[in-house]
Amino acid sequence: MSTAPGLRRAVLTAHVVTSVGWLGAVLAYLALDVTASTSADAEVVRAAYVAMELTVVYAIVPVAVTSVVIGVINALGTSWGLFQHYWVVLKLLLTLVASAVLLAETPTIRSLAEAAGSDADPRGLPGTLPHSVGSLIVLLVVTVVSIYKPRGLTRYGWRRQQAQRRAPRQPSASRAASGPSAPANEEVA
């Protein structure tokens, strides 16, 4: 699918910004989670749990969902496609799993913040460190895959590539009139 270069860059920029925002928000959440799990000060633990809830609800969930939506739009507007290359499919699957786990854990995080806000001592609350560390690892893997783009076409991608090779070429004059095609090394984050 061919789109205007300015629009492609705008979508790519939005995807990079939301993806980096997701990673940064997870790092902030992880710092709060470590604090909540290790601090001996009950008030610091209480504040960390409240901040964890705010970070998830107002930062992580919105940027995660936005990143997934914009990532799909971005892939559909590039020569990489959404289901043509294994690395794009891997990114999609990892971000969908990370998003699903995030949405499933949000009520638990809210419950922990509510429990921490009560009169009881919050230092005995379990924290969410395994999920925090796991989400950071998944997001780092997605980032590495985005940068290195391991080779390999899916069956769908291979069939599509073969069909494009068999299709008759447009004359150069009509190709110029339809606008520039996407470069083969087009970036997708």
Residue 175 lies in a domain: no
Q: Are 86 and 152 in contact (CB under 8 A)?
A: yes
Residues in the chain: 189
Confidence band (pLDDT; 50, 70, 90) for 4? confident
Burial class, 46, CB count within 10 angstroms (exposed 0-12 / middle 13-18 / buried 19+): buried
User: Which residues span the domain enclosing 83?
Assistant: 5-167
The predicted-structure confidence for 5-63, as pLDDT tens digits, reads as follows 899 999 999 999 999 999 999 999 999 999 999 999 999 999 999 999 999 999 999 99
**SS3 per-residue string spanning the chain:** CCCCHHHHHHHHHHHHHHHHHHHHHHHHHHHHHHHHHHCCCHHHHHHHHHHHHHHHHHHHHHHHHHHHHHHHHHHHCCCCCCCCEHHHHHHHHHHHHHHHHHHHHHHHHHHHHHHHCCCCCHHHCCCCHHHHHHHHHHHHHHHHHHHHCCCCECHHHHHHHHHHHHCCCCCHHHHHHCCCCCCCCCCCC
What pTM does this model have?
Answer: 0.82
Q: Which residues pair with 85 in a beta bridge?
A: 153
Residue 182 lies in a domain: no
Residue 73 lies in a domain: yes
Residue 60 lies in a domain: yes
Residue 172 lies in a domain: no
Q: What is the mean pLDDT of residues 106-132?
A: 94
Residue 58 lies in a domain: yes
Q: Which two tokens stand for residue 152?
A: 């390999």
- As for how many domains the chain has, the answer is 1
Residue 128 lies in a domain: yes
Query: For 2, how many CA atoms within 13 A lie in the half-sphere containing its CB?
Result: 10
pLDDT of residue 110: 97
